[in-house]
Structure 1
Amino acid sequence: MRRVVITGMGIYSCIGKNLDEVKEALYNGKSGIGIDPIRKDMGYFSSLTGILERPDLKKLLDRRKRHCLPEQGEYAYMATVEAFKNAGIDEAFLEKNDVGILYGNDSSTSPVINAVDIIREKKNTALVGSASIFQSMNSTVTMNLSVIFKLRGINFTIAGACASGSHAIGIGYLLIKLGYQDCILCGGAQEVNPYAVGSFDGLSAFSTQEEDPRKASKPFDKKRDGLVPSGGGASLVLESYESAIKRGAPILAEVTGYGFSSNGDHISVPNVDGPRKSLQNAIKDAGISLEEIKYINAHATSTPVGDLNEAKAISEVFNGYKPYVTSTKSMTGHEMWMAGASEVIYSTLMMNNNFIAPNLNFEEPDEASSLLNIPAQRVDIEFDAFLSNSFGFGGTNSTLIVRKIKA
């Protein structure tokens, strides 16, 4: 079994367009949540969202490649450029090595709607355009990035709801650990346009506390009333330890555990048993003691039932030991298909810079969160290992354990 390390990271999110900006936002507890007035015009109950500017790719990609990318593909491209640069991977390396790609993505709504609108209005499918199909498939990110970067290894999309990005890292970790690949680009991407989340709004899943958008996402707080949708792109270069050492790559952290489970229960309401099993499986795989895990990046999306049951699962698994627990979604909102990947990046940045970002807006615990150690202010602390949870509709659960590299 080979060791699996992270040699590159890249991020494009509502709290920063690169690693430096994101690190500063995390350190200072800066929220990226705001108001999208278009959503009210469309009949949304909540106009809260992560505020994210789309990148200008005209000087970076030719017209054909730009037109095949959907919104979330643009974010993923920007994150990948940074991740490969961060890892010291150039075109020559990609030409000579079978680098793979596993990306989490579970929708590409806007291109589908745009195509259907054209067909209904014009009664002519040819007017949809040749790039539409490459934007609208769920595999859009992996198919586009594999062509842009000339990737020749494993190539498919993980569609696991809000655990997609985490599962992408987990599957990449397993493939490298078992010797099937030396290097895989893993990540997650999420579109931010209102079309993508209309059904969520219709289910009353979103917070409606719009008076101060920065205070709307309040994971674990007793007065939470729903999540805030967000998105972007997050890319990580996973590599075998031997490959990283051989080429003198920077090693940012080591992935040591991957746990997963399925609730086998309600399609949208999480339970305690599934998440608990996911945590236990990751801890077993990592061969780590509970006391070594100093920080948990919780899935906690700011929903009443979800946060409650995750807090119960964490409390039961850690059985009296209280590591710091926060949800970076208090700053970013719920980045959905991207979240499992971005939150590993957020946590790695914190681990490598000796701090834990605050769980914003945590003022009063409920019966379950009162059992956890949740800091509402930044904690300046050195720690060597963290656990990251990601759960999704259909009861899919993923837990990752990452630690500083040890010889």
Structure 2
Amino acid sequence: MSTLIKEDILVELLATTGTGFEEVRAAGKQAFQVQGFPTNKSEEYKFTAITKKIEQSIQNFAPAAPFTVTAEEVNANIFEGYAGDVLVFANGHFAPALSSTIEGVEVSLLSEKSSIALGSIAKPEKDPFCALNQSSFEGGIFISVPKKAQIQKPILLLNFFKATAGQVIQPRVWIEAGDFAEVTFINHSVNLSDIPYFVNKVVEVKGGVNTQIRYYKLQNEGKNVIEVSNIETDIQKDARFTSVNISLSGEMVRNNLTLNILGSNSEGNMYGLYLLNGKTHVDNHTNVDHTVPHCESNELYKGVLADNSRGVFNGKIFVRQDAQKTNAFQQNSNILLSDDAVVNTKPQLEIWADDVKCSHGCTTGQLDEEALFYLQARGIGKLQAKGLLLYAFTGEVMDYITDQSFREYCIAQVQDRLGSNL
């Protein structure tokens, strides 16, 4: 256990029993007690002092209670033109009365599905926050898309967060898609409290043969929020998984995204965008594990940083010995708008196979002064010219969002930020 956070303040949280999953919770607690909170000596959290930030901002480790969300609040936070289904959550607890009944999809409380292999994808021994969630999550939701189901409308996971006295919110989601199924999820969070609180989220996604799964996430919560998100996905033969992760706000945010490619002829795509200002700190850790031959992965993360903000990108691609004929590509590009903004980027490749095509790279720089001068020479103001160049840089990521209403909402949010140059 880290000496920065005393064990006695974790007693109430670790004692949370929830409903069901007794053995799973016990395994999570044990894994957390072995790892403890990460210190500055932890390689995985080398540039993100999240333990210190939690110690400074979180007064207790009691779980935040569920609360009542109104229909008006739900309607006010659905994107204009959105035509999909909505599942509503309050502090991680499912609100069925405000949620859609989705034709062809099973939606249940996790407490009703104690037989599922919770923690078998997002393994608690791999990350201390994943272990902490597994030991003490409350509520949680189970979503199952049956075999051959083609869910044409997206499913919006609309999360409302509200806490007092710096409490802890631990959402837990299990998603499974049967063979030949297709589905799109949009994860959007709404902050209803200015008080600092800690969100520790775990999402496990289990994809079958020839599944098509899209998972989009917009992180735009309050400036005082500390958040850790663990999203881990298994896909089988002939499957495709696409993730788009956009981070715009928060005091300190850690996004862990892992894709395990377990069947041949599969494809994984990870795209990310982070626009940071003030003292916002966002850390993106991605992990693609190629275990079988004839698969492909594509990864592109872009960042724009201003003021005293800090970004971290650590992307890992593993190509196992049996994963011949793998194509894996990774790129991280950043623009710094301030001398005080910092980005630490570390793309990584670990290859044990010999017949592969793999590449990775990173770039960090400032706006092109010649392009800026060119636009200003044609009567465009400096602020607007910067905004146009920045949008040209970031727009590629949002092009990968297939739902038009959500894509337009993200574009509007990004343009608003870039128009003021953050």
- Decide which structure has greater strand share: 2
Structure with bigger RCO (C-alpha 8 Å, 6+ apart): 1
Identify whether the pair has TM-score above 0.5, normalized to the shorter chain: no
TM-score (norm 2): 0.28
- Decide which structure has greater helix share: 1
Q: Which has the larger radius of gyration?
A: 2
